[in-house]
Structure 1
Amino acid sequence: MKYDYDCIVLGLGGLGSAALYWLARQNKNVLGLEQFEIGHIRGGSQDHSRIIRLSYHTPQYVDLAKQAYTTWAEVEADANEKIILKTGGLDIFPPNAAIPIADYTGSMTTAGVPFEILSPVETMRRWSQFHLPEGTTTLYQAESGLASPNIGNCRPYKMAKAYGATIRDNAPITNIRPIKNEIEVEAGGEVYRCQTLILAPGAWTNHALAHFGLHLPLEITQEQVTYYASPDITQFSPERFPIWIWMDEPCFYGFPVFGEAGPKIAQDVGGKTVTAESRSFEPDLENARPHRNLPEKPYPRHARPPNLYQTCLYTLTPDRDFVLNSLPGHPNVSSRWVLPMPTNLLV
């Protein structure tokens, strides 16, 4: 039997579930297809927290982030539940940082976003959990905080269903083919047709593109975050401890206590290159070693040994910018990657 829809969304992680929600909210007859169970942990949309911020290196990204805050507020109002938690955020630039602070201050000034520049003494006075080397410069932006993927994925998915979306999980794609002005998708033993297809499969992107004879130079890495124990986790509560990013190469970032009993720290793009099939869920102790053994980094003074590791996948373009476009020769097939998008723009 064939089923017809206005739109089909492939992949129901962060981007896919949001696209499904906005389409259903616009009264579209929409189908969401997920190859695994809903809420699985094999991709890049799981765990308790992701950084959300206005401090970016170009005015365009700052403006995009502004729209993301507005969009999340709409979703929160519709769901009657908080998804964004503002903690304030520190971008910490060590002496001779590989990442220039001027890109960030210039972009936020252009976009009209207020910020503060702090010395290491002032930073440690306000947040005594840090130990910063002399010569460090800290950029503080009050709107920074965290978004909860566990809530931020689940609520759009549930609201999409409430708006009338059809959802099929455990339905791996076996074929995609254009038929005149429509797209036919075979998944989970069923055949579906749609006028528009949205691809949001993350690390499985090239699997989907192969049906169109296309391939993108995407790198998939297995990333890892580490939750640390602490004798006094109140020191790292969201009310007392901000999100932070160590702006150098390598780059590190961290969170207050949220979802687990301790602060979270990770290296950005510090993982090994893998495939969606070869990745492991086992802890990589070498991956965690830099932020355990380098005291000159701004690691919290009161953090104790690690008590939990979590893995996820990054799907990276060569320049790490978004891919947001229709496929060449297929204007009714659109591809989207990278989570922190105002996802109403996708539809």
Structure 2
Amino acid sequence: MGKTSFRHIVIGLGGLGSAAAYWLSQRDGGDVLALEQFELGHARGESEDHSRIIRKTYHTVDYVRYAQAAYDTWAEVEAHAGEELVVKTGELNFWPEVTTLDETAFNSAMAACDVPFERLSAAEVSRRFPQFRFDDSIHAVWQPDGGLLAASKANAAHRRLAARQGAVLRDNAPVEAIRQINGGYEVRAGGQIYEGEKLILAAGPWTNRLLAHFGLSLPLVVTQEQVSYVTPLDAAPFTPERFPVWIWMIHDNYYGFPIYGANGVKIARDRFVPTTAETRSFTPDPENEAQLRGFLERHIPQAAGPLLYSKTCILTHTPDTDFVLDSLPGHPGVFCVVGANHAMKFASVIGRTLADLACTGETAQPIEAFRFGRDALRSTE
């Protein structure tokens, strides 16, 4: 059966777990086991698709600094993998007159971290990017470092490099039991028994299933979301060189991407439809498709060609929208991470942070807001 005792066991090989396995294997090579309940790269979770937005536009200084570290960390992974994972297109955040989001907080946090940005009128946006059509009540903030992360490629790169560095990756190995033993933890998964000194739980919507082994739970909400890929009437204006990633800055925002990975632009809207990992649907909602098409027809009409395809996904949310990135109460050797719906852009630096914590017990990254014991996570109802 091979090796069964490891210094580190990572549970979950989506975006965050794959990154943790990679950064742990940088330090401890063959002393890392990573377990995935399904096949590697499966589409049942949160982190697989051609692209995710990567950005430095955040509402707090700590998030902006963590985003800056994310860019630096991805650059290291790109160099190691020998492939491009971050495509800088620039980012446009569109601010309507009425929104519950605080533009001043975003701009102040970027300014405090020396992140360049410009505030553009609707007319200025039209001159630079004639693909967009907005009336004068709208303005935008342009940040040139924004772009897309090649999510599925990045996850695969983390796993490939981890295995090359000696990590053992096991798929189709759902966790059946975890118990504390002298010097660590015993994990029964896929019919096998493993021992590990440290555990990292990176299970997304299945997090509470793992926490139950420790008598714990978190007040997490899983939602079903949907993206559509649409073939533009003319592809040329929508390449990454000419069309930026963009976000409509309201709570249930629209957002979109240039053509990348599929022969269409990608558009989505946060809808926050409650579901579970077990009950979610893989069938796209025609009403959502119609909403997305309506937005394109009004504001990006050249992109509103034939629907290429739509797909559903699920996301895991915390009550305050901040990550969970900490050891478990009473279990200093067990670390839990929850991405809170916006972690993929941070995946590699989160994996590196988890490796810091597991190997040294500390990290230089700004993670105080992500602690397990914060007020927003105290309710388990």
Q: Same fold (TM over 0.5)?
A: yes
Q: Structure 1 residue 250: deviation in Å?
A: 2.5
Residue 367 of structure 2 aligns with which residue?
A: none
Cα pair 1:221 1:274 within 8 Å, conserved:
yes
Q: Does 1:332 align with 2:333?
A: yes
Match of 2:192 among 190, 193, 197: 190
SS at match of 1:27: helix
Q: Residue in 2 aligned with 1:206?
A: 208
Contact 2:234/2:302 (CA < 8 Å) preserved in 1? Answer: no
Deviations 1:87-145 (A, max 9, x none): 00001001233322111111111111111111100101111111112121110000000
Matched, 1:219 2:248: no
Shift of 1:22: 0.5
Matched, 1:49 2:57: no
Q: Deviations over 1:206-257 (max 9, x none)?
A: 1111111111111011110011122211111001100000002431100000
In the alignment, is the contact (CA less than 8 A) between 2:246 and 2:256 conserved in 1? Answer: yes
Q: 1:293 corresponds to which residue?
A: 294
- How much does 1:304 deviate? 1.9
Q: Which residue of 2 aligns with 1:134?
A: 136
Are 2:324 and 1:316 aligned? Answer: no
Output the TM-score relative to the length of structure 2. 0.88
**For each residue in 1:284-316, what CA deviation from the matched residue of structure 2 results, as whole angstroms up to 9, or x when unmatched?**
122233222357963444322422102211010
1:153 and 2:155 correspond: yes
Partner of residue 273, structure 2? 272
SS in 1 for 2:66: helix
What amino acid is aligned across from residue 280 of structure 1 in structure 2?
A: S
Distance 1:11 1:334 in 2: 12
Whole-angstrom CA distance in 2 between matches of 1:297 and 1:203? 35
TM-score using structure 1 length? 0.96
Partners of 1:227 and 1:263 within 8 A in 2: yes
1:146 and 1:297 mapped to 2: Cα distance? 24
Q: Residue deviations 1:20-77, cap 9 Å, x none?
A: 0001111240000000001111001111000000111111110000000000001001
| Alignment match, 2:102 | 100
Deviation at 1:346, TM superposition (A): 1.4
The residue that corresponds to 1:257 in the other structure is 259
| Distance across 2 between alignment mates of 1:295 and 1:228 | 10
Q: Which amino acid aligns with 1:154?
A: A
AA aligned opposite 1:22: W
Amino acid at match of 1:306: L
Q: CA deviation at 1:3?
A: 1.3
- Contact kept in structure 2, 1:246 and 1:298, CA below 8 Å: no
| 2:360 aligned residue | none
Q: What's the counterpart of residue 118 of structure 1? A: 120
**In 2, Cα distance between equivalents of 1:294 and 1:4:** 53
Structure 2 residue identity aligned to 1:26: R
Any conservation in 2 of the 1:291–1:297 contact (CA below 8 Å)? no
Indicate which of 32, 37, 40 corresponds to 2:39.
37
Cα drift, residue 271 of structure 1: 4.1
Alpha-carbon separation, structure 1, partners of 2:215 and 2:299? 47
Which shifted more, 334-343 or 198-207? Answer: 334-343
Change (3 A) 1:337 1:212: same
CA contact (8 A) 1:220 1:274 kept: yes
Runs of 5+ in structure 1 lacking a partner?
A: none
2:359 equivalent in structure 1? none
- Alignment CA distance shift 1:248-1:327 (3 Å): same
CA–CA separation in structure 2 for the residues paired with 1:297 and 1:55: 25
Of Structure 1 and Structure 2, which has the larger fraction of its residues in helix? 2
Pairing 1:244–2:246 present: yes
Aligned mates of 2:8, 2:49 — CA distance in 1: 29
Q: Verify the 8 A CA contact 1:93 1:99 in the aligned structure 2.
A: no
Instruction: Say if 1:319 and 1:299 are closer, same or farther in 2 by CA, change over 3 A.
Output: farther
CA distance in 2, matches of 1:177, 1:302: 53
Name 1:9's counterpart in structure 2.
10
Instruction: Tell me the distance in 2 between the aligned counterparts of 1:319 and 1:299.
Output: 32
Change (3 A) 1:297 1:273: farther
Task: Give percent identity, aligned residues only.
Answer: 48
CA 1:158 to 1:302, structure 2 compared with 1: closer, same or farther past 3 Å? Answer: closer
Residues in 2 aligned to 1:93 and 1:272: alpha-carbon distance in whole angstroms = 24
User: What SS is found at the alignment partner of 2:28?
Assistant: coil
Name the stretch that deviates more: 82-91 or 172-181: 172-181
SS in 1 for 2:211: helix
CA distance in 2, matches of 1:294, 1:53: 22
User: What corresponds to 1:346 in structure 2?
Assistant: 354
Indicate conservation of the 8 Å contact 2:11/2:17, yes or no.
yes
What amino acid sits opposite 1:334 in the alignment?
A: F
Q: Distance in 2 between the 1:5 and 1:80 partners?
A: 29
The yes-or-no answer on 1:21 pairing with 2:22 is yes
Q: How many corresponding residue pairs?
A: 346
